[in-house]
Structure 1
Amino acid sequence: MVSWKNKWFVVAKLQLRRQARLRREYLYRKSLEDQERQTAERKLKIKEALDSDKPIPTDLRQEALALQKSLEYDDEGGEGITSHIDDEYRWAGVEDPKIMVTTSRDPSSKLKQFAKEMKLIYPNAQRMNRGNYEMTQIVQACRANEVTDLLIVHEHRGEPDGLIICHLPYGPTAYFTLSSTVMRHDIPDVGTMSEAYPHLIFHNFKSKLGKRVMNILKYLFPVPKDDSKRVITFANQDDYISFRHHVYKKVDNGKDIELQEVGPRFEMKLYEIKLGTLENADTADTEWRLKPYMNTAKKRKFLSDD
């Protein structure tokens, strides 16, 4: 007779095999993106040359006939080539996200309080004590409970200084530094924390990387109702993202709007995006990394086109 321990071992082994298979399929689809994108660009060049009655570029003349025949099967529908981003956020807006918030090991009382306030920011969020759990155990537990995003806050000498956002089950994982953190209880005349789904305001996320970061932050929140009186703002200035949290009410018979900050408030700065989850971050591809010691680093703005 098979014991329950052997049954649990078999089920766990099958789950690990399934996760590994899904991960391989995701990586394979991602590896095909560059090839498909290059083919689409060559087709577009040939189509533009034929439509404008111009000579076909010399580097495309050998394969021009084959590409022209394949153009007959391309339609006008859709938005072009699908990417790994479509796999990452396929259920965004359809199902509400499920957030897990935790801390680094041996957190101070201030970091614990900050984690509690972060849990109140995100609807459908839960907070977990880190304890002695390994990162692999945490990620596997989150996957088993259908958690969509894992948030980890770090500190330095009692001050929150880091935020990691890991999207499950495939990634990406975004790394931010935190600065100028002000807790809720440090804000004078702080308002009550509403549990309504918030409206989101994103300012100055114009570049391709900026839109990528905007999606990572946006999909942490469910779709709000029209009558929600809660507003969360992500304002980018010089690649520093200011986080502000307000509730509002209408006064003077709806002629004016009165804002009230409910906190917390802090500044975020992106320094890395990994195409993977936290347990395999060392081997995952790096989508983007901040290089502050380059000569042109001070002049460039990565999240905006300025």
Structure 2
Amino acid sequence: MGKRQREDDGEEDEGEKELRKAGAKLPSHIKNKHKRSEAYSKLKHEKILDKKKRIKARDLAEKQALELGEVPEPRKIPRTIENTREIDETLAQPDDEELHADNAADEFNAHFMREHVPKLLITTSQACCNNTRNFIKELLTVIPNAHYYKRGSYDLKQIVKYAKNRDFTSMIVVNEDRKYPNGLLVVNLPDGPTAHFKLSSVKLSKKIKGHGRPTRHMPELILNNFTTRLGLRVGRMFASIFPQDPEFRGRRAVTFHNQRDFIFFRHHRYIFEEKEVKGKVSASSKDSTVDVKKRTPKSAVIARLQECGPRFTLKLQSLQHGTFDSKYGEYEWVHKPDMDTSRRRFFL
């Protein structure tokens, strides 16, 4: 039920409660629909103006406190789903020696010890459409040393064996449903693990307004907010796909941002450019003692982002030991419906 519908049904919001306390007439008691909508719009506008006044007064009080050498009052931290999440025993701590020992012995350690160069094989389900092919074309421009192989009628276990024999370090299988990509299977080679992700909100470069064209330089990799042991394992899997030697001259950045167990993928290039900033300089006039303010342009270097695409969202469905084996595989973690009973419970 939308907000407007709730308002038309006569339910009260915070603004109405304030009006009731003040003894004013409530908008929900207005029978005429158009007048009721106008009253709500006016009330909403007044709330916005009141909020701006409070922010302005707070900033002024902080400025005055700093000028007097005093410590300003700490700002209130708003309650969000992220900072009120349920306590998780698997949250990674920087001084956890057991965690460091596990990382040093896991399947991704060879990559971080620079024992090999990442080499990726990308394939699809047995029958794929143009939308999936276009998505893979853009993945090939993002991930260095990635190669596309047509699936044909081969079984996934046969493809895993083929990739091992040709020294591939990772494999991605793009699944689709109703002619749109809807899943990613990421297999770390040669010993696993295998992660299955739900793929959604796919947007190719040509659909992104003002998108840029990436160069062939090695991108920088940003992994954000992978805080649990499971999250660190998934983050290390993403890191093993990309080389560890970014070429900063190319100004490319690939980001995996985890928020509420949804992993948002973004590909940007950052640009440094000079911009004129107007400054004020006072100069005394010959005929008058009044200062005349002249504006002189000053140059400053600013940085801005330009999205290259593609963009998509991943949600982890399962993490399996070893390479792909749907029948006899042992799972480290599987998402189940009963895990979604709380909105403040996260696993990554």
The answer to whether TM tops 0.5 is yes
Aligned partners of 2:211 and 2:308 also within 8 Å: yes
Matches within 5 A, 1:46-57: none
Note the alpha carbon deviations across 1:83-129, whole angstroms, 9 max, x for none. 48725123214122000001111101111111111122110000011
CA gap 1:257/1:144 in 2 versus in 1, 3 angstroms: same
CA gap 1:288/1:226 in 2 versus in 1, 3 angstroms: same
CA RMSD of aligned residues (A): 2.1
Mapped partners of 1:251, 1:214: distance in 2: 33
- The corresponding residue for 2:241 is 220
* Runs of 4+ more than 4 Å apart: 78-85
Note the alpha carbon deviations across 1:140-185, whole angstroms, 9 max, x for none. 1101100000100111112211001000111000110011110112
Question: What is the identity, as a one-letter code, of the residue corresponding to 2:192?
Answer: G
Give the TM-score, by structure 1 length. 0.69
Q: Secondary structure at the match of 2:110?
A: coil
Mapped partners of 1:85, 1:108: distance in 2: 41
Mapped partners of 2:106, 2:269: distance in 1: 34
Mapped partners of 2:164, 2:273: distance in 1: 45
Note the alpha carbon deviations across 1:246-266, whole angstroms, 9 max, x for none. 011211187211211110001
- The corresponding residue for 2:316 is 270
Q: Secondary structure at the match of 1:92?
A: helix
Mapped partners of 1:167, 1:297: distance in 2: 32
Which one of the candidate residues 96, 102, 105 is aligned to 1:86? 105
Post-superposition shift, 1:294?
Answer: 4.1
2:187 matched to 1:205? no
- The corresponding residue for 1:4 is none
2:179 matched to 1:158? yes
CA gap 1:84/1:135 in 2 versus in 1, 3 angstroms: farther
Question: What is the identity, as a one-letter code, of the residue corresponding to 1:153?
Answer: V
- The corresponding residue for 1:260 is 306
Larger deviation: 141-150 or 246-255?
A: 246-255
2:152 matched to 1:107? no
Aligned partners of 2:217 and 2:249 also within 8 Å: no
- The corresponding residue for 1:129 is 150
- The corresponding residue for 2:347 is 302
Mapped partners of 2:307, 2:186: distance in 1: 24
Matches within 5 A, 1:187-198: 187-198=208-219
Residue ranges of structure 2 left out of the alignment (5+ in a row): 1-96, 275-298
Aligned partners of 2:171 and 2:186 also within 8 Å: yes
Mapped partners of 1:245, 1:235: distance in 2: 11
Q: Secondary structure at the match of 2:186?
A: strand
Post-superposition shift, 1:80?
Answer: 8.0
Aligned partners of 1:199 and 1:228 also within 8 Å: no
Note the alpha carbon deviations across 1:274-302, whole angstroms, 9 max, x for none. 00111x34222111111122464543111
Give the TM-score, by structure 2 length. 0.61
CA gap 1:254/1:113 in 2 versus in 1, 3 angstroms: farther
Question: What is the identity, as a one-letter code, of the residue corresponding to 2:242?
Answer: F
CA gap 1:222/1:81 in 2 versus in 1, 3 angstroms: closer
Q: Secondary structure at the match of 2:337?
A: coil
- The corresponding residue for 2:29 is none
Which protein shows a greater Rg? 2
Question: What is the identity, as a one-letter code, of the residue corresponding to 1:89?
Answer: F
Mapped partners of 2:340, 2:313: distance in 1: 25
Mapped partners of 1:244, 1:254: distance in 2: 28
- Matched residue count: 225
Mapped partners of 2:316, 2:337: distance in 1: 12
Note the alpha carbon deviations across 1:189-235, whole angstroms, 9 max, x for none. 22112221111122211111111111111111001134340001111
Question: What is the identity, as a one-letter code, of the residue corresponding to 2:243?
Answer: P
Question: What is the identity, as a one-letter code, of the residue corresponding to 2:329?
Answer: A
CA gap 1:284/1:84 in 2 versus in 1, 3 angstroms: farther
Aligned partners of 1:235 and 1:242 also within 8 Å: yes
Mapped partners of 1:179, 1:85: distance in 2: 33
- The corresponding residue for 2:83 is none
2:160 matched to 1:139? yes
